[in-house]
Amino acid sequence: MNKKVVKKTIIPYVVLAILIFGIIYMYDTFNRKIHYVTYDEFNKFLIEEKIKEVVIVPKSNNSVYEIRGTLEGYKENEFFLLRLPYSGDVIANFIENQNEYGFKLDTANDPGTSIFILFIVNVLPFILFIVIAVIFIGKQMGSANKSMDFGKSRARLNQDNNKITFKQVAGLTEEKEEVAELIDFLKNPKKFQKLGARIPKGVLLVGPPGTGKTLLAKAVAGEANVPFFYISGSEFVELFVGVGASRVRDMFKQAKHNAPCLIFIDEIDAVGRQRGTGLGGGHDEREQTLNQLLTEMDGFGANEGIIIIAATNRPDVLDPALLRPGRFDRQVTVNLPDVVGREEILEVHAKGKIFAEGVKLSNIAKRTVGFSGADLENLLNESALLAVRRGKNAITMSEIDEAHDRVLMGPAKRTHKYTNHEKKVVAYHEAGHAVVGIKLDGANDVQKITIIPRGNAGGYNLMLPKEETYLSTKKQLLETISGLLAGRVSEELVFKEITTGAHNDFEKATKIARAMVTEYGMSSLGPVQFEHQESSIFLGRDYNKSRNFSSQVAYEIDEEVRKIIKEQYEVTKKIISENIDLLNLIAETLLEHETITKEQIDHLVEHGTLPTTEENSKDYNSMTLEELKKSAKERGIKGYTKMNKEELKEKLKN
């Protein structure tokens, strides 16, 4: 345990104990009732035999002694006190004749002869009073300082002993190469100064949430083995104007004392937004903070050893002055990982987890298109939780499949009841997507179909691109639209009616069609870009922005979008009409099994039936006990070592 923590924990109790003892002593002192008597009165008490007890206490200077005693009728803590000049004859007389007097006689040492008791009685109460006063005043002054401590930087210095290095950062090969020279500069700045090179003063990490921007910044600090200050952009902005600017100054002051070092500002868009773009005027506090940040970055020397790394997923709203050379010189885009990157990320997060035989991370990577690093970590964690919940010793593909669906759509609602007709409609809807995905090369490939409700959907169809590409052809986009429209077409052809189940499909199809017309130039309107890629509106900058096309062009855009959707709807209707038998086969299989995978769909198309799994095709009756245990271990069955042969057979069959 930290010694400072121990001191802070014990000291208050020690002070409290001393206070309690002091209060008890003082209470006992003030509660006593003392009767001061003369020597004649004392002799009178002796003659009348009213004395019950006498204690003789010689004082430390041996010139005076005290006689304390109690009389008949005295209450507790009540006694008389007599002070006389010191005389050994008087004490000897009392000792010789005490039996005649009929009271108890005792002697005691003077408390004043003990230095410790003198300190406790006379000095300690004053010391305690002074300490309490100092503590109370100090707290009051500390509270006052804290209340006025707005201008201090909220940046925290990362002193974690478990430093993050590039080994913990997977799937960002090019990004790590881009920031590697920052590490070289922090380790050996003279190598750059020798040739007159200037290292970038700021590096801006841009990318979707969860792609590893913060992790990459920590890895740079860990590799360079330098102090690492980190702060969120929102921690600069306060209610009072000028506080944020003061915090920026204080942060850079601390950084200069710890140079060479890194400063990491997360979500810099909170403080670095374009100036003068607020509705009804600017934001004085944020703009002053940004101005101070710009000044501090531009005011550095050539090589002061301080590098700023910032992260955001909204680079479009940042002020242009923040992105010019001399401030954030370099912009590193941290994209979603590809299949190779996803496999590397899975290998990092798979450490410490136990997987059953047959679980291949490469297969998981292929099925998780569009997942970020955070999504992949969450996927494996959910899989482990499901395995524990099911009482298994290892994570199997069953848990990974379920976790994948839970991450995308939420938990399965197995208790949700819907009519047989609704179940049949959902089955044919999802089967329609599968048929078009099989028959069109450009359509998304169906990886899994289930008619078990998840989230707000009555069924779930996992459709992924057949290949991960950077470019999409017009043919691929049109066939993707056909695959999205297939659910509604199936409902119309089979049931002669339509439902609301295709609303999400229409949303995606319309978005693709509109992008083809307004962004990609894939229509009769020609290669003209009418709209930019959609992003969140930056109020003040985008709210009143006028369209760069006329009302007539807007009408033509709507007509072209409608034309693309209508033509692909007819194409989809023709494909499903020509393959109605395959549609019925997949739908009936779904109604029976509720969930089928891509491998089962492929086998169904080729052979007309679902494949028999390897486990179900085994003859457990002919297997030995050791073979049964081996098979149970592979399937992750918990407690298989304690089961007999019959129990193992029953468990494996189920």
Catalytically active residues are 430
Q: Which two tokens stand for residue 510?
A: 């319309």
Separation CA 434–CA 600 (nearest Å)? 12
What SS3 class is residue 427?
A: helix
For residues 115-148, b (16+ Cβ closer than 10 Å) or e, as one string? eeeeebbeebbeeeeeeeeeeeeeeeeeeeeeee
| Residue in the block written with tokens 């009392």 | 94
Cα–Cα nearest to 98, from 152, 54, 137: 54
Interatomic CA distance for residues 270 and 277, integer angstroms: 14
Q: Are strands 33-36 and 78-85 parallel, antiparallel or unpaired?
A: parallel
Rounded to an integer, what distance in angstroms lies between the CA atom of residue 481 and that of residue 507?
10
Cα 7 to chain centroid, rounded: 31
Q: In what helix (H) or strand (E) does residue 193 lie, and over which residues does it extend?
A: helix 189-194
- Looking at the chain, how many residues does it have? 654
DSSP state of 489: H
Q: Running DSSP on this structure, what letter comes out for residue 21? A: H
AA letter at 334: V
Angle made by CA atoms 540, 545, 548, in degrees to the nearest 5: 165
Cα 35 from Cα 345, distance rounded (Å): 89
Instruction: Please say whether the beta carbons of 490 and 576 come within 8 A.
Output: yes
User: What gap in Å lies between CA 297 and CA 309, rounded to an integer?
Assistant: 12
Q: What is the DSSP string of 36-89?
A: E--HHHHHHHHHHT-EEEEEEEE-TTSSEEEEEEEETT--TTEEEEEEEE--HH
For 445, list phi and psi in degrees, rounded to 5: -85, 135
Both tokens of 571, joined, read: 């194409």
Query: Residue 204 in 3-state DSSP?
Result: strand
Contact 136, 130 (CB under 8 A): no
Residue 208 near residue 226 (C-beta atoms within 8 A): no
Q: Max alpha carbon distance in the chain (Å)?
A: 136
Residue in the block written with tokens 């509720």 = 594
DSSP code string of 513-567:
HHHHHHTS--STT-S---SPPP----TTTTTTPPPSS-HHHHHHHHHHHHHHHHH
Name the residue among 328, 27, 306 with its Cα closest to residue 186. 306
Give the span between the Cα atoms of 250 and 245, in whole angstroms: 9
Backbone CA torsion sign across 96, 97, 100, 101: negative
SS3 197: coil
Beta bridge partners of 57: 66
